[in-house]
Structure 1
């Protein structure tokens, strides 16, 4: 009888611990990930590429809400782009600082959907013309997170809504400020690049990103 009561007590304690762990979720856990984004397009002789590397560190403040920030690098190139009535090879080297907040929902098993609100701050210059570039804005993204183990996951995300304000300062010229709001991201890199730097505006970050996340 004593052995039976002891076994029952162990089972109850185990179930209680599991229930408590489940209710707490990932609250208090830290995570580290790095988002990689790449986009390329070609139109005639114009070839455009956009590459983003954004390491992110954050923590879960509730079982399903996380806050964090990323610091990374963004490189935008457009070969043979039309500029000022001629053509030029454009190469912008930019730095990104991006605070963010995420909300997670469990879809099934190890699959999670998350919504992300980020406020990227971008600064740098286009090297060919020495054009100084700065941009800040707000991006709303949706993503899928698959936990391979409880401490490691693979995530994919896509920008859905973008607001941005871009300031361009030519070498020795007057600065220009461009405000843009768009639903979903411009898929054509050349259009996004030229509109952001020389026309109507647009987010400079890549629309699609993937990464590997470690939870600890």
Structure 2
């Protein structure tokens, strides 16, 4: 029995001491697309984010890295009203933001098994971008003969904006082989502030604290094994 316990302890600690070697490099990234349609007001919100990431292990189980990418958001709406009988006014609009994303990070791994690791990642996501507003108002008057249609268009560049935050993400990383892993982040704890560059602009702050199944993200990573 004693020999069995000793053998089990050796196996357990042998697995738990497996480490990712210093000098290891990996490639990963984020690709996200989301769209929300609201039939109550005929609005649609679209978000596209692409952020390739590279990481480098400066010490066993400790990596630093950088993500650089692009984010596009488009909020649009369409609404038709009839202020008087036989007169119809249709309003359409888009609010578009495009930004470059830069996100340095540090990630610490803890070994759970020969191929399974728990990690915690601290990052500083930053976004630098600008926006544009486009819209039109079309009025159709059926009270006259022939009916008349008038359209007024609006296009305006918005001020540039800067967004800076701090984010902590816990997760699990499983090595399928020496080059490929599957990782999952479970929730996010962070803070973000966004401000437009014009006189009198005030910052918009966002706090994000959550660790549940609805915030789980799954991705793959390629490791240049040493």
Band the TM-score falls in, shorter-chain normalisation: 0.5 to 0.7
Aligned to 2:146: none
Give structure 1 stretches of 5+ with no counterpart. Answer: 1-18, 186-206
Describe the shift of the 1:169–1:25 C-alpha distance in structure 2 as closer, same or farther (beyond 3 A): closer
Instruction: Name the larger-Rg structure.
Output: 2
Instruction: Show CA shifts across 1:62-84 (max 9, x none).
Output: 221111111111111222189xx
Does residue 1:214 correspond to 2:209, yes or no?
Answer: no
Give the structure-1-normalised TM-score.
Answer: 0.67
Describe the shift of the 1:125–1:184 C-alpha distance in structure 2 as closer, same or farther (beyond 3 A): farther
User: What is the 5 A alignment of 1:26-105?
Assistant: 26-44=21-39, 45-80=42-77, 88-105=93-110
| Aligned mate of 1:182, from 201, 205, 208 | 208
Distance in 2 separating the partners of 1:165 and 1:38? 22
Using the TM superposition, give the Cα deviation of residue 182 of structure 1 relative to its aligned residue in structure 2, in angstroms: 2.9
Moved over 4 A (4+): 207-210
Give structure 2 stretches of 5+ with no counterpart. Answer: 1-13, 80-90, 134-155
Give the structure-2-normalised TM-score.
Answer: 0.64
Contact 2:19–2:111 (CA under 8 A) maintained in structure 1: no
Q: Kindly indicate which of the two structures has a greater share of residues assigned to helix.
A: 1
Instruction: Show CA shifts across 1:52-105 (max 9, x none).
Output: 1111112112221111111111111222189xxx76222211110100011223
Contact 2:45–2:75 (CA under 8 A) maintained in structure 1: yes
Using the TM superposition, give the Cα deviation of residue 106 of structure 1 relative to its aligned residue in structure 2, in angstroms: 3.3
Distance in 2 separating the partners of 1:55 and 1:87? 34
Distance in 2 separating the partners of 1:95 and 1:51? 12
Using the TM superposition, give the Cα deviation of residue 208 of structure 1 relative to its aligned residue in structure 2, in angstroms: 6.2
Matched length: 170
Q: Kindly indicate which of the two structures has a greater share of residues assigned to strand.
A: 2
Aligned to 1:169: 197
Contact 2:27–2:221 (CA under 8 A) maintained in structure 1: yes
Instruction: Identify the structure with bigger relative contact order (alpha carbons < 8 Å, sequence gap 6+).
Output: 1
